[in-house]
Structure 1
Amino acid sequence: MVRNIIDYKNDPRSVAIGDFNNDSWLDIAVANYAADNITIYFGYGNGTVASPVKYSTGSGSAPSMIAVGDFDNDHRLDVAVANFGTNSVGILRKFQNGSFASQTALSTVSSRPVWIHVIDLNNDTAPDIVTANHGTHSVSVFYGYGNGSFSRPTTYFTGFDSFPLAVVSGDFNNDKQMDLAIANYGTNNVVILFGSDNDTFAKQSTFSTGPDSRPYSLAVGHLNEDAMLDIVVTCNGNNSLVVYLGHGDATFMSETTYSMGSASPYSIGIGDFNNDNRMDLVVTNKGTDNIALLAGYGNGTFASPKMYSTGSSSSISEIYSYVVSSIIGNSNIQP
């Protein structure tokens, strides 16, 4: 395993992976909050990477999260960044020679975006963008046109003092429309916005994560092999994970809570990490310099967390969930 490839003085807040130069090897993109830039590390396919290539996101931009998608339908991955400091989404389109164009900024007004999610929400094959907005207690949706440009944002309020920190998508009521699940740090709950066939969302369901739980991130997957989407949430206020098993009709079973002991969980990934055909959970922990693996039993329940060191003073906090799944899943971790 390669360690310490990222310069921590730049306050890296988020990681995304993808094959950015179409050589069939995975590369790494990092959002550097303190340096107002992103860095691209091209992979060699053997666990090592090239020296980073830097791209500015603008003075004072403070990029908090990064995601990837083919926004202009040229079969090359582009980059989208949530710029907390300049209240914008930055789009960096990919050139054929492997480099990226200068950033094009999409305004989020005064929202302070902290999370960015890329998904095709309206089934038109063009990737759309969703941001969680810490400053305005809302999420914003930018619909992609498939040519590198986007609609003006449509914003949905998530509740007074909700301070949303994360948003993911899935069809939670089996109507073939994508819905949004939002982790509200300030109000200790998860809000589901249900999608419709006219590109709008309605607030329908709210689930408590417990008093002072402070939900920080969430992930969606099939945890009990019933084809219904489930949700798992990290809560760093009470050092726990909360699992909601879906019924497929917009309702969920009562939550199951898993204690992480003294570890403060931040980001979470879902994947089969021990090759038993059952979904497991992997969690990054802040303050304890480790990650946790919870082996799944295939019925929506999980074993107690097993910790793996990430090195002294590694200070892991935010790592985008699918990045955790992809990287750790290739590391031969056995529960």
Structure 2
Amino acid sequence: MATETSYSTGSGPHSYSVVVSDLNKDTFPDLIIANSAHDNVGISFGYEEGTFADKITYSTEIGSHPQYATVGDFNGDRQMDIAIDNTLNGSLTVIYGYGNGTFTNAEVHSMGIGSRPYFAVTGDFNNDNRLDLATVNEGTNIIGVFLSFAYATFKIGGSYSTGAFSWAVSVVVANFNNDHLLDFAVANQNADNVMVFLAYDNGSLREQTTFSILTSFHPYSIAAGDFNN
């Protein structure tokens, strides 16, 4: 049995999620941790033997309360960047990587106080070979899509309702209908359902199909895969 090794994320940081990616191009996986109470993202670089360095942090602004992060090359320079959704101040923070483990100052995209973005996801939603971003917003019950129209520049690509008081808390993107486009599936915690939004090739979404789950099951996260071969 392997030995457990613990790494501190700080005193009372409310570490909400962790993402794994090679941020400094040394072929070893690194950790990205969203520290909600400390309003920052912590990064711990991995070593060859499977251990990790002490974390360094990047601020997501005071009062932001980051929840989840997603990683991708958002500005086309072949380096890994990080996008973080901030629940309390209703924003999406993007920091761009230099490829050596350091990052630019934060770029912030506001969705409005009270929107409560809960989960972020990335993919090429409009087939222009650039990575776009999307969040599910628990406070306003919408999917917010950000399309990349120039590298390192995003614009609002659309807002799609998940239903009043649905509490959309998680989203996954995958090609659900074999048309080579990325579709969206959303878990609605309060509505006890999953909604699937099929995509058009311009990045917009069609009217959703709803799949109910047993009452009071309150789905909190969602994943996609080929479960029946």
TM-score category by the smaller chain?
over 0.9
Cα distance, 1:122 vs structure 2: 2.1
Does residue 55 of structure 2 align to residue 103 of structure 1? yes
Work out which structure has the larger RCO, using CA pairs closer than 8 Å and 6 or more positions apart in sequence. 2
Does residue 148 of structure 2 align to residue 195 of structure 1? yes
Deviations 1:204-245 (A, max 9, x none): 300000111110000001000000110000001110001000
Query: For residue 30 of structure 2, what is the amino acid of its counterpart?
Result: D
Check the 8 A contact 2:157/2:204 in 1, yes or no. no
Aligned residue for 2:188? Answer: 235
Aligned residue for 1:289? Answer: none
1:58 to 10, 23, 27: 10
Greater Rg by CA: 1
SS at match of 1:56: coil
Cα distance, 1:123 vs structure 2: 2.7
Structure 2 CA distance for aligned equivalents of residues 50 and 186 of structure 1: 42
Cα distance, 1:250 vs structure 2: 2.1
Structure 1 CA distance for aligned equivalents of residues 13 and 225 of structure 2: 33
Structure 2 CA distance for aligned equivalents of residues 108 and 160 of structure 1: 15
Does residue 40 of structure 2 align to residue 88 of structure 1? yes
Structure 1 CA distance for aligned equivalents of residues 223 and 145 of structure 2: 20
TM-score normalised over the length of structure 1: 0.66
Aligned residue for 1:299? Answer: none
Query: For residue 185 of structure 1, what is the amino acid of its counterpart?
Result: E
TM-score normalised over the length of structure 2: 0.96
Cα distance, 1:124 vs structure 2: 2.2
Aligned residue for 1:144? Answer: 97
Give the alignment's Cα RMSD to 1 decimal. 1.1
Does residue 15 of structure 2 align to residue 76 of structure 1? no
Structure 1 CA distance for aligned equivalents of residues 60 and 119 of structure 2: 16
Structure 1 CA distance for aligned equivalents of residues 49 and 172 of structure 2: 34
Gaps of 5+ in 1: 1-48, 276-335
Query: For residue 164 of structure 2, what is the amino acid of its counterpart?
Result: P
Structure 1 CA distance for aligned equivalents of residues 205 and 61 of structure 2: 34
Check the 8 A contact 2:88/2:113 in 1, yes or no. no
Cα distance, 1:70 vs structure 2: 0.5
Cα distance, 1:129 vs structure 2: 0.7
Does residue 214 of structure 2 align to residue 264 of structure 1? no
Structure 1 CA distance for aligned equivalents of residues 157 and 90 of structure 2: 17
